[in-house]
């Protein structure tokens, strides 16, 4: 079983990307996916929405998987592996999650994973998050990413942004970068193909 972590600061469009990406990846002959939602509040609106789209969803409430719910994350992954046995789990983490801590937990307590990919969304509507004294959560998520999606290219202030791209390259030169719009579906086929390539690697 492989794991894809979808991270990004609050309001960056993670759930929209997750839903559209899963639609592109799902097929009768393709790999099977389970979505694991980590909600900070008591009520999971996103989880209910995804379940309504016919996707298998598990949820972790009232805390963040990088700290308070680290143990619960490992338990949930073991339960998913034993009962559903998907090819891949897609974990949408809280906007305040420290991805580095999640990866450390998995390395220490759940080495059964066949691979982990981190997709981080950067919100082009709020370019100041990346250019003006970036928040530590944002820096951590970008530094751990295998793929950075510059989201909301459909917005009036979106589109290609070389300053943001340079900032991301400084923080994480190894990450692939795709400019996209999760809402409009722009370039999501390219994102899906990068995920498929990663899924095939080592299979």
Band (pLDDT 50/70/90 cuts) for residue 42 is very low
**Number of helices and strands in the chain (H, E):** 8, 7
CATH code that applies to domain 2-200: 3.40.50.300
Q: What is the mean pLDDT of residues 194-202?
A: 88
Could you tell me the sign of the dihedral formed by the alpha carbons of 119, 122, 124, 126, in that order? positive
Residue indicated by tokens 């994973």: 113
Arithmetic mean of pLDDT, 18-34 = 81
User: Hey, which bits of the chain come out as E strands?
Assistant: 2-8, 33-38, 57-60, 88-92, 115-123, 147-151, 176-179
Residue 66, pLDDT > 80, answer no
pLDDT digits (tens, 9 = 90+) for 121-158: 999 988 888 887 768 888 999 999 999 999 998 765 54
- Nearest of 104, 153, 167 to residue 124 by alpha carbon: 153
Q: Are 115 and 87 in contact (CB under 8 A)?
A: no
Q: Which two tokens stand for residue 154?
A: 């459909």
Domain spans in the chain, listed from the N-terminal domain onward: 2-200
The model's confidence at residue 115, banded by pLDDT at 50, 70 and 90, is very high
pLDDT of residue 58 exceeding 80: no
pLDDT band per the 50, 70, 90 thresholds, residue 73: confident
**What pTM did the predictor assign?**
0.87
Mapped onto helix, strand or coil, the DSSP state of residue 146 is coil
């Amino acid at each position: 079983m492989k794991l894809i972590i979808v991270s990004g600061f609050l309001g960056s469009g993670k759930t929209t990307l997750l839903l559209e990406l899963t639609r592109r990846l799902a097929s009768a002959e393709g790999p099977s996916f389970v979505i694991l939602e980590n909600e900070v509040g008591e009520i999971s609106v996103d989880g209910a929405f995804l379940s309504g789209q016919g996707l298998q969803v598990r949820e972790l409430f009232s805390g963040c998987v990088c700290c308070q719910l680290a143990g619960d994350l490992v338990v949930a992954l073991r339960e998913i592996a034993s009962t559903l046995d998907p090819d891949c789990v897609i974990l949408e983490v809280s906007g305040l999650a420290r991805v580095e801590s999640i990866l450390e937990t998995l390395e220490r307590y759940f080495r059964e994973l066949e691979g982990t990919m981190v997709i981080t969304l950067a919100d082009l509507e709020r370019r100041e998050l990346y250019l003006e004294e970036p928040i530590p959560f944002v820096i951590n998520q970008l530094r751990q990413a295998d793929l950075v999606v510059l989201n909301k290219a459909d917005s009036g202030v979106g589109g290609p942004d070389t300053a943001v791209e340079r900032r991301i390259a400084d923080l994480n030169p190894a990450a692939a970068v795709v400019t996209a719009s999760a809402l409009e579906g722009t370039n999501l086929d390219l994102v899906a193909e990068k995920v498929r390539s990663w899924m095939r690697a080592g299979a």
